[in-house]
């Protein structure tokens, strides 16, 4: 097998993993948020792959939705094949850069989302706790602002869309600033508690919200910059070729499967660990005195898994490129 053929196979593997994951995420939204039947019910309807038969067969109109969801996987894989053949001269380093840029965009957008949402939500919660909301707004708006469904739907979601736009034009990941914000938020709690004898639930919620984001979102950035802790007693003494082999095998057989497990198991149904808090608009137990952002902390797992998956794929392709280059030299 020629080096070019090996390169194309690696490209197909990498892009297929990304395409299937993307199709799964779209189907997850359609199933959980728009009550589409999903692929599992389609399999159960025909008793495929060991799925138990449904008590009541799906109607034709419902089956049409199943076929559309199944078609999403087909079209995603077809798009991969088409793209690979169209860009057959593109090398693995370029593909690695594409995946790395996608991961960077996800993290940039996530940073801006947690920053903007944290600031806006703490302002609303402060106004609610101190009853300033009664002075500024009328009764109708007041009750809407302390309603989780209204605040999340009409304030959080638009701000998330704005963050996606800002993340596209921004070129900074913002981890240093997020770390500074965590320190500032924690310091403000200490200052207000021991000097002004003032503390509210939303202050602690904000620290946890930003602190969790800092560690989960920075993981993919740390991966590409060799920032993760590793036992390198043997690794440092290896040649560049052996390091590339270890990184390739580790990415493909450990890193990528781990991320896929988090995504597929965490979003397997409406009751799963990621979907359930998002669908229920889960907030802190403190009610109106806390932040209405707890549901997003479940989404952190999905963002972490998707960003790490794209970064592991980038890592897999870049190190595979090194292996192929070394084989050509030899």
CB-based contact 66:58 (threshold 8 Å): yes
Give the model's pLDDT for residue 173: 66
CB-based contact 166:112 (threshold 8 Å): yes
Please provide the DSSP assignment of 164-212 as one string: HHHHHH-----HHHHHHHHHHHHHHHHHHHHTS----HHHHHHHHHHHH
CB-based contact 254:15 (threshold 8 Å): no
CB-based contact 206:185 (threshold 8 Å): yes
User: How far does CA 327 lie from the centroid of its chain?
Assistant: 36
The CA distance from 279 to 302, in Å, is 14
Give Cα separations from 83 to 15, 79, 95, 206, 214 (angstroms): 9, 6, 11, 43, 35
| Other CB atoms within 10 A of residue 236 CB | 8
Give the model's pLDDT for residue 314: 94
pLDDT digit of tens for each residue in the chain (330 aa)?
688 889 999 999 999 999 999 999 999 999 999 999 989 888 888 888 878 888 888 888 888 999 999 999 999 999 999 999 999 989 999 999 999 999 989 999 999 999 999 999 999 988 888 888 888 888 888 888 888 889 999 999 999 999 999 999 987 766 778 888 889 889 988 888 888 888 888 888 889 899 999 888 888 778 766 677 776 777 778 888 898 999 999 999 999 999 999 999 999 989 999 999 999 888 875 556 678 988 999 999 999 999 999 999 999 999 999 999 888 776
Give the model's pLDDT for residue 288: 60
Give the model's pLDDT for residue 106: 92
| Other CB atoms within 10 A of residue 60 CB | 7
The CA distance from 141 to 137, in Å, is 6
- The residue written with tokens 């440092």 in the block is 236
Cβ-count burial 163-198 (b if 16+ within 10 Å, e if not): beebbeeeeebbbeebeebbeebbeebeeeeeeeee
How far apart, in Å, do the first and last CA atoms of the chain sit? 16
Summarize pLDDT for 234-273 with one digit per residue, the tens. Answer: 777 888 889 899 999 999 999 999 999 999 999 998 999 9
Structure tokens at 312: 């592991």
Give Cα separations from 228 to 173, 212, 215, 256, 302 (angstroms): 17, 17, 11, 16, 20
Give Cα separations from 140 to 30, 49, 133, 144, 218 (angstroms): 32, 52, 11, 6, 40
The CA distance from 31 to 19, in Å, is 18
Give the model's pLDDT for residue 286: 54
Give the model's pLDDT for residue 224: 67
Query: Where in the chain are the domains?
Result: 1-90, 92-329
Summarize pLDDT for 186-243 with one digit per residue, the tens. Answer: 998 888 888 888 888 888 888 989 999 988 888 877 876 667 777 677 777 888 889 8
């Amino acid at each position: 097998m020629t080096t070019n053929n090996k390169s194309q196979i690696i490209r197909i593997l990498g892009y297929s993993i990304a395409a299937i994951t993307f199709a799964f995420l779209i189907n997850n939204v359609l199933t959980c948020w728009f009550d589409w039947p999903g692929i599992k019910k389609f399999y159960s309807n025909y008793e495929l792959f060991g799925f138990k038969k449904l008590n009541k067969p799906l109607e034709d109109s419902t089956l049409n939705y199943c076929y559309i969801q199944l078609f999403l996987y087909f079209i995603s894989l077809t798009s991969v094949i088409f793209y690979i053949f169209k860009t057959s001269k593109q090398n693995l380093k370029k593909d690695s850069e594409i995946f790395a840029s996608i991961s960077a965009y996800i993290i940039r957008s996530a940073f801006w989302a947690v920053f903007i949402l944290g600031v806006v939500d703490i302002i609303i919660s402060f106004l609610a706790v101190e009853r300033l909301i009664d002075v500024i707004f009328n009764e109708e708006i007041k009750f809407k602002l302390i309603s989780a469904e209204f605040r999340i739907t009409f304030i959080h979601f638009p701000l998330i869309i704005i963050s996606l736009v800002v993340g596209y034009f921004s070129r900074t990941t913002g981890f240093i600033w997020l770390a500074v914000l965590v320190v500032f938020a924690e310091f403000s709690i200490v200052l207000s508690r021991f000097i002004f004898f003032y503390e509210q639930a939303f202050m602690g919620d904000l620290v946890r919200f930003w602190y969790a984001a800092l560690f989960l979102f920075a993981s993919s950035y740390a991966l590409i910059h060799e920032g993760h802790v590793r036992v390198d007693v043997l690794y440092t003494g290896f040649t560049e070729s052996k390091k590339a082999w270890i990184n390739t095998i580790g990415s493909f057989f450990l890193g990528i499967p781990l991320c896929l497990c988090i995504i597929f198991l965490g979003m397997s149904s409406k009751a799963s660990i990621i979907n359930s808090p998002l669908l229920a608009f889960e907030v802190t137990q403190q009610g109106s005195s806390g932040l209405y952002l707890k549901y997003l902390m479940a989404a952190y797992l999905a963002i972490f898994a998707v960003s790490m998956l794209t970064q592991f794929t980038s890592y897999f392709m870049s190190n595979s490129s090194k292996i192929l280059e070394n084989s050509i030299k030899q």
